[in-house]
Structure 1
Amino acid sequence: MGSSGVVKKTNGYLGVTEPISFSGPSEVDVLKTQELEKFLADAGLYESQEEAVSREEVLGRLDQIVKIWVKNVSKAKGFNEQFVQEANAKIFTFGSYRLGVHGPGADIDTLCVGPKHATREEDFFAELHNMLAEMPEVSELHPVPDAHVPVMKFKFNGVSIDLLYARLALWVIPEDLDISLDSILQNADEQTVRSLNGCRVTDQILRLVPNIQSFRTTLRCMRLWAKRRGVYSNVAGFLGGINWALLVARICQLYPNALPSMLVSRFFRVFTQWRWPNPVMLCSIEEGQLGLPVWDPRRNPRDRHHQMPIITPAYPCMNSSYNVSSSTLRVMTEEFKRGHEICEAMEINKADWKTLCEPYPFFEAYKNYLEIDIAAENEDDLRKWKGWVESRLRTLTLKIERDTFGMLQCHPHPGDFSDKTKPFHCCYFMGLQRKQGVPSHEGEQFDIRATVEEFKHNVGMYTLWKLGMEIQVHHIKRRNVPLFVFPGGVRPFRPVVKTKGQSLAQAGKACATALGNGDKVAGVVAESVNRKPLVTDASDGTQVLEVSEGHSSHVPTVSTFSDKEAEHSMELVNGLAESGTRALDVASESKKRKLEVDQSECSPVDSKRFAVDPKEVDHLAVKSSEIVANVSSKEDEALAIKKVTSGSPDNPASLTEELDELEDYKLPEHTQNFEAGLNKNSVECSTLKEPAIQAGITHNDDKSIRGIEELEPMELSASSSSAPTSASNVQRKPLIRISLSSSVKAAGKTA
């Protein structure tokens, strides 16, 4: 039987394709890497020696506890004394701690491996749970037996622990157990296979990277970048720790001799061009001999719908990023492009690591947000309720995408916020916007009230629900985002967006300058623009016209620059530009002819002025060859990247044509007719009732209703939602109606 612990190399290299480049580091790469390491240290990503020792002590103590636990279980089940003495359990680590990229205060992902007679439900989540609950060192004990991967969360001497359980088909667990062997999966239940997967994948990653130290530094940087840019969260539909580790490991395979600074740059260069859903794989997918299902979109219909497949390298190979939706993939793709642009600027010293990792201005990026508030009666109930709601939030994104056919895009914030004035309360936010590049119709609406009701109903089915556990969903505008979400409770100043009018004035000045009368013509254009100003709304709703760089004037509502006037001004500018170009061409041609005449009339003595030193020619030739070589290497790298990102015939998901043939089904009729019936489908839904969930009316009702009357283009309207309490049939108010007018198209993307 094959072993996942044996790494197969293809033609001497790691990975499913040959590397893009074997180039080693340059002096600039060494300096940039030193700057990166200093930046990471200054960001507080490395734990102290004292904390490292504390973690090792906690793990040692936890290993002793599970050994005592399994002996107690064996004794309680009537096994003889010799068997009880031989009974054993063992603790393994995985995730960021095992990879060596954890920071101060980070959780330790741990796995308890036990024998076949120690069950998950009765022994692990009952007996071991009770043992831990009685220990003074243990706090915040929270079992989650119904999770996709069942886990027990707690703190041991202040160190956060996530403990999984794997029940093997062995009577005795050997102390030198090798969990990388495929044989340990024999006769294992599905939950055990999932629990073992974390450790097996982590160990395999460390075997599949060419340089572990470079991998670790690069991964630390990418984790920091992802957290600051708001794309680090598996539960929210982005990528979690294991996903980022797999992506970074693939870049390390493609550039085996590169230092971390170059690896970060190439990360963005490669994944900006990646053609999803082509999968990212560190090694080939193996079928194995145990018959366990592996990721294969050619055989498994569900795998065909994965947006961003990142495949785990250990058998059975799975897609670790199945939570990613089309909306969250869009957000991450935009962030990859931004990262690539900044890394390009860093190469010419126009940016630095701080610029790359600037926090994402989430509450300035959209005009419309959904706010999801949850509350409970006490801290323990809130922790349980919060964990459940977090695990369901991504389904709200999927439901909105489904019910609007992808026309309404969601951007969930990966973290939660708390209003200190409200006890046992926290809230989540989700940015909303129309899909870019899709034409809109005047008065077009999206009604997602029924979608939100469905989401709340599903959340309300929590099996451990208690009185006081509530959830509310309502819409807010950007200017009404609560202050407690901002650092220090202070809303940041939002810079004024440059208007089209100013752009026209600047264009007029630039073109007219070529004609020699820039000030005069620019004044004409500027006067025309100022007479009929184009306005941009600020965060407080005031009309703002930017007058000059760094200055703005707040003016009352004014008539906007009409389309005909805009076209007329643009024609004027284009005409000026064309005339300016012609004038420059004439002047250039005249100067060229004059130079030729001057050279032809020079005497032999004067012609020495035009002689070129042979040494200078040699120097220029060397420089030219270096430039050509550099361009050639970049072109070769670009071709190699294109080949890798487009997939290979060995990739089960890169055969897009084959998948298209396999998916021989028709879209639902209402989907096919969506464009034709868009306005028809935008009518208000009737008010909904849910017998199983009591409706709760909040103090935000009146404010939300008033919001319907003061809608601006591209704004939502909503009344408050209700919370699941006891059964009752109370009529609900309208929830959320999205109105998107055609003016959005003209306005372009919001700030």
Structure 2
Amino acid sequence: MGSNNGRRLGITDPISLGGPTEYDVMRTSELEKYLREVNLYESQEEAVSREEVLGRLDQVVKNWVKKISRAKGLNEQLVQEANAKIFTFGSYRLGVHGPGADIDTLCVGPKHATREEDFFGELHQMLSEMTEVSELHPVPDAHVPVMRFKFNGVSIDLLYARLSHWVIPEDLDVSQDSILQNTDERTVRSLNGCRVTDQILRLVPNIQNFRTTLRCMRFWAKRRGVYSNVAGFLGGINWALLVARICQLYPNALPNMLVSRFFRVYTQWRWPNPVMLSAIEEGSLGLQIWDPRRNPKDNYHLMPIITPAYPSMNSSYNVSSSTLRIMKDEFQRGNEICEAMEKSKADWNTLFEPYAFFEAYKNYLQIDISAENADDLRKWKGWVESRLRQLTLKIERHTYNMLQCHPHPGDFSDKSKPFHCSYFMGLQRKGVPVNGGKPFDMRLTVDEFKHSVNLYTLWKPGMEIYVTHVKRRSLPDFVFPGGIRPSRPTKGTLERRQTSELKAPSQAISDATDDGRKRKRVDDGSDACLRNSKGFAGLPSSSGDVQGSPPVSTMSSPSLNSKVDHIDINGLGESSREKTENNYTNGLRNSSIAEVSSQNGDMDRPVKCNSPNKDLSPDTSSSKEAEKLAIEKIMSGPYVAHQASQLELDELEDDLELRNQVKELGGNTQGSSMESSSVNTAVVGAVITSLSGGGSSASLFTNAGLEELEPSELTMPLSNGSPPAPVGQRKPIIRLNFTSLAKATGKST
């Protein structure tokens, strides 16, 4: 009933206590069969092999700590008592890993076993001498230092936590807050993975249902191209937290319903309202926690997903306005397909259809990198990947979000070129110009990105990077499966196919009343819950009652708009997605809702749901409206983040990054001494032509009818700031030469 051993799970009451119907049992069985058919479960042999590797690794670190204890002069009794222990976290600990997946592991050692000298020194040396170990790659300077390697073919990511204990007990419980006492920041961050994973498993009502649902959502996110923390989307821990919250809100539901409600809830979620599994605890150790009321930088997070273990942090700070927009569109698509599935108008194959990234856009940025050998490429690749998100942010900022980027979460290799790989970003202009546009350069944008890449302290000759604009028709063959470019349908065929794709799910939803197979669900009576509730809970905050922020896409900054007026870049108004968000938000604002008092983030007057035997179809408008209001109630909390402009966020991040880089580099500017010829940036100009019309159901084929970017000659920025001569009898255009708008507009940072 929404609790675990008598405890309520989550910071609010559940939305529904309804249990599964025969339909849910059947559809969940189909889902599990589907997940097995697509090879998401490892074999029994591989599972045994992983267990053996973990046992062997645990023995290695125990031998290691005894060896360094003896070398440091500890007496024989302390040497015999010296201990280190291996813990797992991430997908393996959650039980949702697939064949060949990495195992996230943590080595916990005593206070006399240092990170630099002993872990990255002695233990690294021991591992390098073992025949079972291959591809050993230490990354001591990472935000969370890690040692990566393969042990008998099993990929391992090994972190290190140095505790203030002389002896590490075998029954050590890393979930206790006291374990963090007298530890450094890197140890706190290293312990965070294990502590968060354990808390998630404690905070979900049914672990098996959680695992199946998470396995499904991870697979969906990878197929739809939104699984990548480094690219600005969401990583494994983020998806786990989002799924866990849905499990709390529907504690008795099977995975079939949990997947459906995942999309329903997060389609309606008004970011940047945070997703939290438990109340944020202040703690007694004085560690900084996520709190936008006190920490300025927390105000600018666009999609906060808060970790449940102390110290609570936002696990999704990498999300940008472009990647948030893409994920919101994908949530909407998933929601429409799930509703169509409930009417037997779609199936699991429809939901998991791969996103056709290289058909979705007409223009791309291609980032090529190369190195002298495989080891250099691995290091160079890791560094460049960590910086690619900054290119997205800079393009958004320098074009005032008029040019949106869609980074592909992965790299591609041209087999004919050794030690080379490529990354791609889809380009889409937001809005359509009315009276033509003024050329503006983006060379400074690319130069800034190149400068941040040049800060790499381990740069070696041969490490190069190129950035080019490429049309869809000119994409290299190696990005396509098997290196074979698919044949392009004719324009008429493509439009008919897109119209059909857009129409089918919408028809399925509208035809619900005619579907004789409509299912009934034993619900907890969310209608009754709504009638019995006095409305939303207005939670206290340091600055008074916090009202929900409008969606990201509806925000604008007058100061930013005034800066770009003279660029003559005008949109056609709101997209269909933005209109939907505005209509929904306005509807909520116009609702007559009373506030009830609350304390410590908990609802003071929990909603009573006492009608479990009432049959309600989940497709009835009253039930969905009740769910909408329940979701809105969940988002009424003290931690409603300030909706800042992307410009403010980027400038703050740049400032923080610069300080961090100076601190980490310690004045080492080795990378910045590279000649421009060694890091070439080929930039091709482009012209964006206008869109012709748009569909009302664009969420299912987000990029249908995208504007065209045509190659053009490089255009020098106009020194007097005057617009170019008007273009006669042609479609209105915006000229872009991929250089900084800052230079053309005289923007100061």
**What TM-score, normalized to structure 1?**
0.71
Structure 2 residue 448 is the aligned partner of structure 1 residue 454: yes
Amino acid of the structure 1 residue aligned with 2:625? A
Q: Deviations over 1:11-41 (max 9, x none)?
A: 8521111111111111111111111011000
- 1:331 is aligned to 326
2 CA distance for matches of 1:212 and 1:634? 31
Shift of 1:644: 2.5
Instruction: Specify whether residues 472 and 497 from structure 1 end up closer, same or farther in structure 2 by C-alpha distance, changes over 3 A only.
Output: same
Q: Which residue of 1 aligns with 2:152?
A: 157
Query: Which residue identity is paired with 2:263?
Result: F
Q: Deviations over 1:270-313 (max 9, x none)?
A: 10110000000001111011111100001101001101000000
1:416 to 411, 419, 422: 411
- Taking the aligned partners of 2:45 and 2:713, their CA distance within structure 1 comes to 52
Q: How many residues align?
A: 571
Equivalent position of 2:200 in the other structure: 205
Shift of 1:200: 0.4
| Preserved contact between residue 90 and residue 197 of structure 2 (Cα < 8 Å) | yes
Q: Within 1, Cα distance between the matches of 2:632 and 2:151?
A: 44
Q: Is the 2:689–2:733 Cα contact (8 Å) retained in structure 1? A: no
Separation in structure 2 between the aligned mates of residue 666 and residue 55 of structure 1, nearest angstrom: 46
| 3-state SS of paired residue (1:415) | coil
Alignment of 1:690-709 (within 5 A): 692-696=673-677
Could you say what secondary structure the match of 1:141 adopts? Answer: strand
Which residue in 2 is equivalent to 1:638? 625
CA contact 2:433–2:732 (8 Å) conserved in 1: no
1:166-223 CA deviation, whole Å, 9 max, x = no partner? 0111111111000010000011111100100000000110010011111011011101
Shift of 1:493: 3.1
Ranges in structure 2 where 5+ consecutive residues have no aligned partner: 501-612, 652-670, 691-706, 715-723, 735-749
Greater shift in the superposed pair: 229-238 or 437-446: 437-446
Q: 1:78 to 1:277 in 2, by over 3 A?
A: same
Paired letter, 1:213:
Q
Residues 698 and 405 of structure 1, relative CA distance in 2, 3 Å threshold: closer
CA contact (8 A) 1:210 1:253 kept: yes
Q: In 2, Cα distance between the equivalents of 1:699 and 1:413?
A: 22
Instruction: From 206, 215, 226, give the equivalent of 2:210.
Output: 215
Determine whether 1:349 maps to 2:344: yes
C-alpha spacing 1:716/1:321, structure 2 compared with 1 (3 Å): farther
Q: Say whether the 8 Å CA contact 2:107–2:161 is kept in structure 1.
A: yes
Deviation at 1:444, TM superposition (A): 3.5
Matches within 5 A, 1:315-464: 315-435=310-430, 437=431, 439=433, 441-464=435-458
Q: Secondary structure of 1:122's partner?
A: helix
Consecutive unaligned residues of structure 1, counting only runs of 5 or more, are 1-6, 507-625, 671-689, 721-738, 747-751
Query: Do the aligned residues in 1 keep the contact of 2:462 with 2:678 (CA within 8 Å)?
Result: no
Alignment of 1:251-650 (within 5 A): 251-435=246-430, 437=431, 439=433, 441-498=435-492, 629-630=616-617, 635-645=622-632, 647-650=634-637
Using the TM superposition, give the Cα deviation of residue 8 of structure 1 relative to its aligned residue in structure 2, in angstroms: 9.3
| Counterpart mapping for 1:673-712 below 5 A | 692-696=673-677
Give the corresponding residue for 2:107. Answer: 112
What whole-Å deviation, never above 9, does each CA across 1:29-61 have from its counterpart, x for those lacking one?
A: 111111101100000001111100000000001
Q: What is the distance in 1 between the residues matched to 2:646 and 2:58?
A: 53
The alignment partner of 1:410 has SS state of: strand
Question: CA deviation digits over 1:493-520, x for unaligned, max 9?
Answer: 33344599999xx9xxxxxxxxxxxxxx
Amino acid at match of 1:358: E
- Partner-residue secondary structure (3-state), 1:161: strand
- 1:627: how far off? 12
Deviations 1:232-273 (A, max 9, x none): 001111000000000000000111111101110110011011
Closer, same or farther: CA 352–695 of 1 in aligned 2, 3 Å: same
Question: 2:219 maps to which residue?
Answer: 224
Alpha carbons 1:278, 1:647 under 8 Å: kept: no
SS at match of 1:143: strand
Aligned amino acid, residue 50 of structure 2? R
Amino acid at match of 1:172: V
The match for 2:60 among 47, 58, 65 is 65
Residue deviations 1:643-701 (CA, integer Å, cap 9, x gap): 32464443312xx6xx47xx899979x9xxxxxxxxxxxxxxxxxxx983323389997
Structure 1 Cα separation of the partners of residues 496 and 123 of structure 2: 69
Q: Residue 446 of structure 2 contacts residue 681 of structure 2 at CA under 8 Å; is this kept in 1?
A: no
Secondary structure of 2:673 counterpart: coil
Q: Give, in whole Å, the separation in 2 of the partners of 1:197 and 1:698.
A: 37
Report the alpha carbon displacement of residue 714 of structure 1 after superposing the two structures with TM. Answer: 3.9
% same residue: 70
Residues 1:134 and 2:132 aligned together: no
Deviation of the 1:630 alpha carbon: 3.3
The residue type paired with residue 404 of structure 1 is T
Give secondary structure in 1 for the equivalent of 2:195. helix
Q: 1:502 to 1:221 in 2, by over 3 A?
A: closer
What SS does structure 2 have at the residue aligned with 1:696? Answer: helix
For residues 145-174 of structure 1, give each alpha carbon's deviation from its aligned partner in whole angstroms, at most 9, with x where no partner exists.
111111111000100000000011111111
Query: Any conservation in 2 of the 1:270–1:645 contact (CA below 8 Å)?
Result: no
Q: How much does 1:642 deviate?
A: 3.4
Equivalent of 1:92 in 87, 90, 104: 87
Q: Give the partner amino acid of 1:125.
A: F
Q: Which amino acid aligns with 2:673?
A: A
- Quick one: structure 1 residues 438 and 17, their matched pair in 2 at CA, closer, same or farther if it must change by over 3 Å? farther
How far has the Cα of 1:375 moved from its partner?
0.5
Shift of 1:744: 7.0
Q: Residues 719 and 313 (structure 1 numbering): CA distance in 2 closer, same or farther, change over 3 Å?
A: farther
Q: Contact 1:457–1:693 (CA<8 Å) still a contact in 2? A: no
TM-score with structure 2 length normalisation?
0.71
8 Å Cα contact 1:288/1:315 also seen in 2? yes
Residue 570 (structure 1) aligns with: none
CA RMSD of aligned residues (A): 3.3
C-alpha distance 500-246 of structure 1, shift in aligned 2 (>3 A): closer
CA contact (8 A) 1:273 1:642 kept: no
| Matched residue SS, 2:677 | coil
Helix, strand or coil: the match of 2:238? helix
Q: 1:695 to 1:19 in 2, by over 3 A?
A: same
Q: Which has the larger radius of gyration?
A: 1
Contact 2:85/2:108 (8 A) holds in 1: yes
Change (3 A) 1:497 1:269: farther
For the Cα contact (< 8 Å) 1:278–1:645, is it kept in 2?
Answer: no
Match of 1:41 in 2: 36
Cα distance in 2, alignment partners of residues 634 and 80 from structure 1:
74
Amino acid at match of 1:639: A
Higher normalized contact order (CA 8 Å, seq sep 6+, divided by chain length): 2
Check whether the contact 1:700–1:719 (CA below 8 A) recurs between aligned residues.
Answer: no
**1:46 touches 1:103 (CA, 8 Å); kept in 2?**
yes
SS in 1 for 2:8: coil
Q: Check conservation: 2:687, 2:709, Cα contact below 8 A.
A: no
1:474–1:283 Cα change, 3 Å: same
Q: What's 2:657 paired with? A: none
